[in-house]
Amino acid sequence: MEKNQIVELQIEDMSDEGLGIGHTKDGMAVFVKDSVIGDRLRARIVKTKKAYAFGRVEQIITASPDREKPVCPVARSCGGCQVQEMSYPAQLRLKESKVRNNLQRIGGITSADFYPIIGMEDPYNYRNKSEYPVGRDRNGRLIAGFYAGRTHTVIDGRNCVIGIEENQKVLDAVLGWMEKYRIPEYSEETGKGLVRNIMIRCGFATGQIMTVIVVNADQLPHEKELVQMLRRTLPKEPLKPENLQAASLDTPAADLEGNVPRHMASIILNTNKARTNVILGRKNRTLWGSDFIEDSIGDVRYQISPLSFYQVNPVQTRRLYETALSLAGLTGQETVWDLYCGIGTISLFLAQKAKMVYGVEVVPDAIANAKENAKLNGIGNAEFMCGKAEEVLPREYQEHQVHADVIVVDPPRKGLDPAVIGTVASMAPDRVVYVSCNSATLARDLALFEEKGYHTEKVQPVDMFPHSVHVETVVLMSRVQK
Ligand code: SAH
């Protein structure tokens, strides 16, 4: 097979990256971007490897019944939503079977109860955080959006359909301010210029919006004007109940259901002078409003700073945490460890039903947030430790013989360090709840737990990221009585 050759394919499967997979007559696998399982198509080969090739859709002969026109006009070039051309029910089926296949194939998990995936009723505008690099289009107009796959070229994507609708207004205000005062955008290529990124975060339950302007400097010219323009774009802060009478058109109050209109609550200047593609620098200065925003999930309230990790889909996060809580089977008597606890989101959720919760997390800022969050909620039965789970847990177990009835883990994509699995097994909790964003490493780890006397009982996938290929899974393991 060679470059530019046209092959006819039936798309039968999808890779972890969201590429459709078909086979040529000679059995060679071809990965095709923007194709959907069930498509019959002609693909142009763009790259060949020994055992497989990559292709682009040249012509769709028969469209898959699951194919849909993406809502977003730039879905293809963006790459953020790998499967937006697939109907939402088909996306959910795909994710469910991906989890099941990985667990069976990699982990040898066959006897667990696999529950149907929990999807969203409305799979749009769900992200509470969006990050937009700033650049110029071909006509030299300032734009904000995303990098076109593996380049430094910014493509306009201000009205991203998975972000909140307010993003566009905020972006327009910042770009308007840049135009007006001739503030230069940063160039990744030259390392020169000022404004790198605009990050917008929203507490869905509180309506509070934080705008973070990431710049290649410590100061900004015309900071005051930026603040003014940003504050003018959205409704003002909602009124306190006692001032409801005074509500006017531009100061909306909570409606009868208590929904608070979205409003600017915090404007932050973040300094990032490093020549990397890491978005945020370490240094923040509050230009206006609060240093953090607040949100709540269920009955727990959280403070979120610019650098804090926080789940991006609050609607599904609540379902994820409720699943974790119910699988943990707490009665109020248990000692629980929550490893990779971030800002203590799961820990505080569990603390409402446990005797004591210990959270472990490697990022110091997140631990500081977790402690504040415990205080904010008046939760006295949660303690947080900063450090690597694979160091803190073995140390606490060996030196202080700490005990756990239930252990919850929520590691990053690479999964658990074997030292964590070893120590968890030695501590012999009755139940282990594994929250995973990568079903391949989850499957690998479950197999190790099975060797150490834990049986995988329940598997609940949750769709935290509609239109992407990612899927979150909560698993319950129980200790096999010996
Ligand atoms: N449970 C939290 C966060 C999960 S994300 C929530 O639901 O919000 C995974 C977290 O693991 C991140 O906060 C990351 O900083 C942390 N982390 C990464 N490597 C770690 C390690 N080796 N030990 C402890 N925490 C780690």
Distance of CA 340 from the midpoint of ligand 1 (Å) = 4
The residues that bridge with 304 in the sheet, in sequence order, are: 293
Q: Is 139 exposed, middle or buried (0-12, 13-18, 19+ CB in 10 A)?
A: exposed
Residue with tokens 């140390």: 395
Q: In which region does residue 391 sit, left (phi positive, over 0), alpha (psi from -120 to 50) or beta (all else)?
A: alpha
416, pLDDT greater than 60: yes
Distance of CA 256 from the midpoint of ligand 1 (Å) = 38
346 lines ligand 1 (CB under 6 A): yes
**C-alpha radius of gyration, the chain, whole number:** 24
441-471 residue pLDDT tens: 999 999 999 999 999 999 999 999 999 999 9
> Which residue out of 305, 309, 407 has the highest number of ligand 1 atoms within 8 Å of its CB and is therefore the one to mutate?
309
Distance of CA 202 from the midpoint of ligand 1 (Å) = 21
392 lines ligand 1 (CB under 6 A): no
The 3-state DSSP class for residue 74 equals coil
| Nearest one of 322, 352, 278 to 433, comparing CA atoms | 322
149 lines ligand 1 (CB under 6 A): no
Catalytic choice (78, 202, 341, 437):
437
Which two three-digit tokens encode residue 427? 């501590």
150-165 residue pLDDT tens: 778 899 999 899 999 9
Angle between the N-to-C axes of helices 166-181 and 223-233, in degrees from 0 to 180, rounded to the nearest 10: 150
Quote the CA–CA distance of 85 and 169 in Å, as a whole number. 27
Judge contact between 1 and 49, C-beta under 8 A.
Answer: no
Q: Is 387 exposed, middle or buried (0-12, 13-18, 19+ CB in 10 A)?
A: middle
Which two three-digit tokens encode residue 302? 């959280």
341 lines ligand 1 (CB under 6 A): yes
419 lines ligand 1 (CB under 6 A): no
38-53 residue pLDDT tens: 999 999 999 999 999 9
DSSP per position, 155-166? EE-TT-TTS-TH
| Nearest one of 147, 200, 146, 193 to 171, comparing CA atoms | 200
Cβ neighbors of 355 (< 8 A, separation 6 or more) are 332, 333, 334, 335, 381
Domains of the chain: 1-67 (2.40.50.140), 91-120+313-479 (3.40.50.150), 129-304 (2.40.50.1070)
Angle between the N-to-C axes of helices 418-427 and 389-400, in degrees from 0 to 180, rounded to the nearest 10: 30
- Confidence (pLDDT) at 245: 46
Quote the CA–CA distance of 156 and 401 in Å, as a whole number. 55
- In Å, what is the CA distance from 172 to each residue of 74, 176, 286? 18, 6, 21
Residues recorded for the chain: 482
| Nearest one of 481, 332, 352, 325 to 408, comparing CA atoms | 325
82-97 residue pLDDT tens: 999 999 999 999 999 9
88 lines ligand 1 (CB under 6 A): no
Would you give the DSSP letter of residue 476?
A: E
Is 386 catalytic? The answer is no
With vertex at residue 71, the alpha carbon angle to CA 65 and CA 439, rounded to the nearest 5 degrees, is 70
388-413 residue pLDDT tens: 999 999 999 999 999 999 999 999 99
Distance of CA 163 from the midpoint of ligand 1 (Å) = 23
- Confidence (pLDDT) at 174: 98
Distance of CA 289 from the midpoint of ligand 1 (Å) = 28
Nearest atom in ligand 1 to the alpha carbon of residue 435 is 1
